[in-house]
Structure 1
Amino acid sequence: MSSVLFDTPGPKAVARNRVLSVVTLLVVVAIIGFVIYRFAESGQFQARKWQLFSFPLVQQTLLQAIGATLSAFATAAVFSLVLGIVLAFGRLSDRRWISVPCLAFTELFRAVPLLILMMIMYYGLPTLGVQGISPFIAVVVGLTLYNGSVLAEVFRAGIESLPRGQKEAGFAIGLRKSTVMTSILLPQAVRAMLPVIIAQLVVILKDTALGFIVTYNEILFQAKYFGSQAQYGSPIIPAAIIAGVIYVGLCLLLAGVAKFLESRMRRNQRIAKGTRAPVAAGSAAGD
């Protein structure tokens, strides 16, 4: 079976793809094995280097760092979603004095690296007389400005990808443009762009690691501190492994929650379609 964009591979192509898959798997396993071997040769798996992480106080500190990471992520995620929706609506406005500034704002903060935004907030603004910028505020504001601008393009693309009939039907029954946007277009755009939105939320979670530059007490900051303890053999690699495992676990947890929400939305949509069908059939029988 084939289509315009894809031809079903034949027996030779299937065999070749299987060989390439096996070779790729062997190469990846060999690389991982070599890295583990070098870690073992350099003493990274010695009990002395891992002893530090067996102390209850160190474990409690890591839990506090996880809480700080999740706090910054949750705050920045909410503000980024709100900012992205506002900027997307501004970009789609018919008034140029609204759409042009929103366009400039979006393009500016999409182009500025996130690390520079955090450094400007924490190190730059105090030199201009702006006081009270804590590491938490610097991290959250930097994440919000950058990811809000990225999400603005996601929402705008999702809204513009919808059929024009959706918007025209809303105008035909006398709805205002703001009502059409919030009640008709935005919910459909969110459902359509949900995988991209979730991917950007995962990016926000991982980018909280940049907070160690502004001394924010998150996971990477604590891992860097524990890895520099010379009395325990400077366990840099063990600290990095533990931090990486924590980040992977948090990202997988977020992806699992997103998958659950997506499946729930699809199930509700199927239920709604199933309830509309009998109503339509009943109306036809009555006619």
Structure 2
Amino acid sequence: MNTQTNNSESAVLFDQPGPRGRRMIRIFNSVAAVLIIALVVAVLARLHNPPQGENQLSWELWKPAFDYEAWSDFYLPGLWMTLKAAIVAIIGSIVFGVVFGIGRLVPSRLVRAVSAVIVEFFRAVPELLLMVFFWRWFAFAGVSSPSYWAVVGGLVLYNGSVVAELVRSGVGNLPHGQREAAVALGLSPMQSLMTVEVPQALYAMLPATITQLVVVLKDTALGSIIMYTDLLQESRRLGAMYFNILQTLVVAGVIYFILDWLLSRLAERMPAVMQRRTWGNTVAEPTAPIAIMDATNANQIAAAHEPMPFGGAERRFHDHYHGSNATTDHWQHAHYSHGHDLQHPEVRARNWDEPLRDFARPFQTKPKNPAANGNVSAGNGGNGNAGAGTDHSAGKNPGTE
């Protein structure tokens, strides 16, 4: 199914290649594969026999980059400092982005202008410049761990500005009529923004936000320039100790790749997860048969037997609508699955003493007792009191049988 969908999408965007086109594609792919293999071989050959220096593929250089001391004293402490700065920066970026993203949408022109200046300024200034500025400022102010807070501050301001734009664009991309419907219900524009539009935008921007988290994690490596002991800085220290800087940086690069790959896979899975959570009922609604005595036609029979209120006017919504469970699609299936279809043979076959919901009790219809030869005494006309030999339930309306 997915292959057919992809083929149909590619057919819409591009013409399907013919036999000659497919042959040319195979030739180009083969040539590209050969060139890539040749490049890899050339790089390995140069590392094995460099013009000056020792063999970079030697195990004596790679062994210190993989032993226990390297992981316990360098990689893992550096990884913890990287994650520590990234987690705090991610939380701060989300808070900063939501606040100033909403600030760019509020009715007040002054608040919108101030929020726009702040967001555009910090989006334009490079992160490294922000980190250097904060590092010098915190150092002169006597703040403990100035390099750590400088890294966090620079990441929060830059990535928070990006998240603010995601919030603003998320609200702008909502289907038309959201605010109009909220205002028609009596909400103010600010109430519509905070209770209707922004919650939808926050949920819709989750995949893009998680993608931005990859940027936050990678940009923590900029802190090594201001002497922050993150994973990159610790790898450089280890390489300087054993004169194998290439090997230690390769290991650090693999660690960064694994972390970013996991976040990227999460961002790719988020739309599918969100779509599954927002799908409606996919069960096909049963079609009522023509035969009126067929059991599956009980809903239409019950609707036809409902009393007409307001002097005989036809009901706009029948008994199968129940509060928040009301639905215009698949109502027959929902009506039966929720146990509201009291006319269905399976529901009627249940134990009569089973307690029913209070709102369903007036519409309850008791099966006739076979011992009474199928006869039930009629009640006292309009007062609804049961006559002799009658076993009506409490609260039963007259004339329901």
Same fold by TM-score greater than 0.5: yes
Equivalent position amino acid for 2:132 in 1: M
How far apart are residue 244 of structure 1 and its match? 0.4
Q: Summarize the Cα distance change of 1:26–1:190 in structure 2 as closer, same or farther, 3 Å threshold.
A: farther
* 1:92-122 deviation per Cα after TM superposition (whole angstroms, max 9, x unaligned): 1221110111111111111111111111011
Distance across 1 between alignment mates of 2:194 and 2:80: 33
Q: Output aligned runs, 1:23-172, within 5 Å.
A: 23-42=31-50, 43-61=55-73, 62-127=75-140, 129=141, 131-132=143-144, 134-172=146-184
Preserved CA contact (<8 Å) 2:138 2:146: no
Other-structure match for 2:20: 12
Identity value in percent: 34
Aligned counterpart in structure 2 of residue 200 of structure 1, from 203, 206, 212: 212
Q: Summarize the Cα distance change of 1:86–1:228 in structure 2 as closer, same or farther, 3 Å threshold.
A: same
How far apart are residue 80 of structure 1 and its match? 0.7
Other-structure match for 2:257: 248
Other-structure match for 2:328: 280
What is the RMSD computed on CA atoms of the aligned residues? 2.6
Q: Summarize the Cα distance change of 1:68–1:165 in structure 2 as closer, same or farther, 3 Å threshold.
A: same
How far apart are residue 162 of structure 1 and its match? 1.6
* 1:123-158 deviation per Cα after TM superposition (whole angstroms, max 9, x unaligned): 24544x464452221111100000111121122112
Equivalent position amino acid for 1:102 in 2: S
Greater relative contact order, per chain length (Cα 8 Å cut-off, separation 6+): 1
Q: Which structure 1 segments of 5+ residues have no match?
A: none
Q: Summarize the Cα distance change of 1:35–1:174 in structure 2 as closer, same or farther, 3 Å threshold.
A: farther
Structure of higher CA gyration radius = 2
Q: Summarize the Cα distance change of 1:90–1:58 in structure 2 as closer, same or farther, 3 Å threshold.
A: same
* 1:187-232 deviation per Cα after TM superposition (whole angstroms, max 9, x unaligned): 4334443433222111111001111112211110011111112xx3
Q: Which structure 2 segments of 5+ residues have no match?
A: 1-7, 286-325, 336-401
Distance across 2 between alignment mates of 1:104 and 1:10: 54
Q: Summarize the Cα distance change of 1:261–1:182 in structure 2 as closer, same or farther, 3 Å threshold.
A: farther
| Aligned-partner SS, 1:174 | coil
| Aligned-partner SS, 2:16 | coil
Equivalent position amino acid for 2:82 in 1: T
Equivalent position amino acid for 1:14 in 2: R
Is residue 22 of structure 1 aligned with residue 30 of structure 2? yes
Distance across 2 between alignment mates of 1:88 and 1:209: 27
| Aligned-partner SS, 1:228 | helix
Alignment length, in residue pairs? 279
Q: Summarize the Cα distance change of 1:56–1:198 in structure 2 as closer, same or farther, 3 Å threshold.
A: same
Is residue 175 of structure 1 aligned with residue 159 of structure 2? no
Considering fraction of residues, name the structure with more helix.
1
Preserved CA contact (<8 Å) 2:106 2:190: no
Q: Summarize the Cα distance change of 1:187–1:31 in structure 2 as closer, same or farther, 3 Å threshold.
A: farther
What is the TM-score normalised by the length of structure 2? Answer: 0.63
